[in-house]
Amino acid sequence: MTGIQLILGGARSGKSRYAEQQASDSGQAVTYIATAQALDGEMDQRIEHHRQRRPDSWQTLEEPWQLAGAIAGAPADHLVLVDCLTLWVTNCLLADDPQCWPRERERLLTLLAERRQSLLLVSNEVGHGVVPMGDLSRRFVDESGWLHQDIARLADRVTLVVAGIPVAVK
């Protein structure tokens, strides 16, 4: 596998498992970048579930904010799997630094436009639901949707995973 693949899907759609299988099947060394933060017991359990599924041979980096820096720091011969972009968006939107999101978004898009390393980018498709009522929720949906559009333009492949079934979009 070479190039950039954006993998989208709803909650519990099988998108992470699909991305992990793609990484395993590639035969490449893998750097897994996790963006989640264990801020409560439920999220701690989700993170542990993902950890248990990953092969011990994969290098794991936990980076909730500076995603472009983490990708750039991965060995050039590694396939990089990022799980997940929407958690990263949330982390940046909620950061104490109001410039976190615009700065880190721009850094990621610049890196993706220049880098040809094999990348699997996992994210939640948020455009199929109702428009949220709260300001922060609406901003999250808007920013996630715009980010997905920008990445999809740069990506070599876009895959939507529905009920565990990957559907090629691009």
- Structural domain total, the chain: 1
Neighbours of 78 (CB within 10 A): 17
Catalytic residue among 50, 78, 128, 148: 50
Q: Residue 126: which CATH number?
A: 3.40.50.300
Helices (H), the chain: 15-26, 41-53, 67-73, 85-94, 100-114, 135-154
C-alpha pair distances (Å), 104 with each of 14, 66, 107: 27, 6, 5
Q: What is the pLDDT along the chain (170 residues), one digit of tens a residue?
A: 789 999 999 989 999 999 999 999 999 999 999 998 877 778 778 768 778 889 999 999 999 999 999 999 999 999 999 999 999 999 999 999 999 999 999 999 999 999 878 999 999 999 887 888 899 999 999 999 999 999 999 999 999 999 999 999 99
> CA 86 to CA 146: how far, in whole Å?
12
What spatial distance separates the first Cα and last Cα of the chain, rounded to whole Å?
A: 15
Is 49 annotated in the active site?
Answer: no
- pLDDT at residue 113, as a whole number: 96
How many CB atoms are closer than 10 A to CB 3?
13
The enclosing H or E element of 2 equals none
User: What does DSSP assign to residue 70?
Assistant: H
Angstrom distance (rounded) from CA 122 to CA 131: 22
* Residues of the domain holding 66: 4-168
pTM metric for this prediction: 0.95
The residues pairing with 125 across neighbouring beta strands, listed in sequence order, are: none
- What are the strands of the beta sheet with 4-9, ordered from one edge? 59-62, 30-34, 79-83, 119-124, 4-9, 157-162, 165-168
